[in-house]
Amino acid sequence: MDMTVSVNDNINGTLILPLTEGTESIPEDCERGLPNSMKAQINRVLGDADFKGKAKSTMSLIGGEDGKVILAGLGKSEDVSVHDYRKSGASVFASLKKSHGNDFTVRFSNSSVKQMAAFAEGMMLRDYSYDNYKMKDEDSEEGIKQIRLACNEKEAEELTALVEMYKGITKGVHLSRDLGNCPPNDMYPEEFADRAWEWAKQYDNVDVTIINYDQAIKAGMGGLVAVGMGSSRKPCMVIFEMNKDVKGKCPVLVGKGITFDTGGISLKPGAGMDEMKYDMGGSATVFGTMEALAQTGHKGKVVGMTCMAENMPAANAQRPGDVIKGLSGKTIEVLNTDAEGRLVLSDGLWKAGEYNPEYIIDFATLTGACVVALGHEATGLWSNNDEFRTRIHEAGNAVDELAWPMPLLPAFEKEMTDSKIADTRNLGAGRWGGANTAAAFLKQFVPNVDYEKDGEQITWAHMDIAGTYWGAKTNTMVKDGATGIHVRTMHHLITNG
Ligand code: BES
Ligand code: ZN
Ligand code: ZN
């Protein structure tokens, strides 16, 4: 797709008209240059309420030689928000057929620049399909879609800047989806590391460091090693550093990167196991956020770390009952090898303390229990700092990616530190509150500032994206597969202070 801003009155190709509910005739500011017969057709469907302008609805009008028009519903006019514009843009994009051609002009009525930009963003986000593994039919090769956003001269500069920013952010979201959608025979820890390494070459302000299996063993990354050792594809940690010479504290993002989660010796049931290729969604969120920040020219320091492993049952896999020790020095009784995400993250979180974090946020497709609690509608959000949790919740709201506050209770911490043989256990005592006990486990591995023994714990949040990284059918921004959730939330949080 090629998205540009245009200040002339021409209608190139199919005209797209976003309209609010209750619009009874074509708005005056959209009429320019439209043939009378097309105007009459639009007025007829609006006057007869055949097209009501309901949120996410679209109607296509084909006027022969007079051109083609798509009406796009924005919803109720009193409370139409940027989110409605974004959803409308995505819905229009989803409705496009070959017969609409490759040229489009979007003409807005009575809309702010932010609203127009959000519509464009929705179109760009929805412009994604993962067809790397399908045979290409050369005859059906479609051209690149040219989309012009019409606006007046006063609006053009601001709109262009916003559209350029959203182009960059969308690249990050699509990268996260590409990584998530890639089948697990081709996406394994080393492949992820290779992609990060290759990716970093295009930016002179980003460095990627890979801690390979042998180095991880030497460094004492017992959690990462225990999870990954049963696979022939060995685990690794990938560290992204952006603008590393900038002084001071910086955000540190940590991602769970299980490229396939069989459950290990605590083997998962077969049904739906293929979906466990998405278990590296947290690492994809981190990588995608780095891309969004790099594309939009972020000047601050940011660090990302991804804990990559494949969780396999094997003769050399870890067992339930094993006691392991990771970077933090705390021991963990492994009661279930399927609770592996928290094990790799225990090393990632501890290591994050080395980068002088302003805060640490981890992303993980961590628990089925989180999906039970929140469905596919919201990410679970925990933090050791209420104000910080609210900030993330608000950053999510600002971009329409819901992250719902969940409790970090002392009782859950007690449950996860109550092992007869070790300092912690990777499984709760009962089956209830599984997403909360997982969060409480992670908290045991968040270091204090400067690793001071009796110091203050680094501000930290945990985002369980098990329900939102894929399978979210109500997410208008994506057709299917990986959603790329929270790249936009993180870009907003990091770039808006
Ligand atoms: N990757 C899964 C969590 C998951 C399950 C995400 C289903 C999305 C959909 C994770 O590693 C896991 O298996 N967690 C266990 C934890 C349990 C053994 C304490 C779970 O949720 O059942
Ligand atoms: Zn698991
Ligand atoms: Zn997992």
Predicted pLDDT of residue 140:
66
Rounded to an integer, what distance in angstroms lies between the CA atom of residue 21 and that of residue 15?
19
For ligand 1, whether the C-beta of 413 sits within 6 Å is: no
CA of 261 to the centre of ligand 1 (A): 9
Q: What is the largest CA-CA distance in the chain?
A: 82
Predicted pLDDT of residue 139:
67
* pLDDT, tens digit (0-9, with 9 covering 90-100), for 424-441: 999 999 999 999 999 999
CA of 336 to the centre of ligand 2 (A): 9
Catalytic (active-site) positions: 268, 342
| Confidence grade of residue 497 (pLDDT, cut at 50, 70, 90) | low
Predicted pLDDT of residue 483:
98
Tell me if residue 418 falls in helix, strand or coil. coil
Looking from the CA of residue 426, the nearest atom of ligand 1 is 19
* pLDDT, tens digit (0-9, with 9 covering 90-100), for 168-198: 999 999 999 999 999 999 999 999 999 999 9
**27 has pLDDT over 90:** yes
Instruction: Give 457's DSSP letter.
Output: B
Which residue minimizes the CA distance to atom 7 of ligand 1?
Answer: 368
Looking from the CA of residue 366, the nearest atom of ligand 1 is 3
Check the CA dihedral 136-140-141-145 and report its sign. negative
| Confidence grade of residue 142 (pLDDT, cut at 50, 70, 90) | confident
**4 has pLDDT over 70:** yes
| Averaged pLDDT, 208-236 | 98
Mean pLDDT computed over every residue of the chain: 97
| Averaged pLDDT, 3-9 | 95
Predicted pLDDT of residue 137:
77
For ligand 1, whether the C-beta of 415 sits within 6 Å is: no
| Averaged pLDDT, 252-277 | 98
Helices 189-200 and 281-295 pack at an angle, to 10 degrees, of: 0
| Confidence grade of residue 65 (pLDDT, cut at 50, 70, 90) | confident
Tell me if residue 129 falls in helix, strand or coil. coil
| Averaged pLDDT, 22-49 | 94
Residue of 88, 90, 71 whose CA lies nearest to 479: 90
Rounded to an integer, what distance in angstroms lies between the CA atom of residue 96 and that of residue 255?
35
Instruction: List helix spans (H) across 96-221.
Output: 113-126, 153-181, 189-200, 213-219
Q: Which ligand has the shortest distance to the CA of 334?
A: 1
CA of 304 to the centre of ligand 2 (A): 22
| Averaged pLDDT, 368-372 | 98
Rounded to an integer, what distance in angstroms lies between the CA atom of residue 25 and that of residue 43?
5
Residue of 488, 464, 490 whose CA lies nearest to 478: 488
**156 has pLDDT over 80:** yes
Rounded to an integer, what distance in angstroms lies between the CA atom of residue 366 and that of residue 437?
11
For ligand 1, whether the C-beta of 127 sits within 6 Å is: no
CA of 351 to the centre of ligand 1 (A): 23
| Confidence grade of residue 64 (pLDDT, cut at 50, 70, 90) | confident
| Averaged pLDDT, 350-364 | 99
For ligand 1, whether the C-beta of 464 sits within 6 Å is: no
Token couple for 495: 């770039």
| Averaged pLDDT, 257-269 | 98
| Averaged pLDDT, 470-489 | 97
For ligand 1, whether the C-beta of 180 sits within 6 Å is: no
**63 has pLDDT over 90:** no
| Averaged pLDDT, 319-327 | 98
From 367, 376, 426, 463, the mutation candidate for ligand 1 (largest count of ligand atoms within 8 A of CB) is: 367
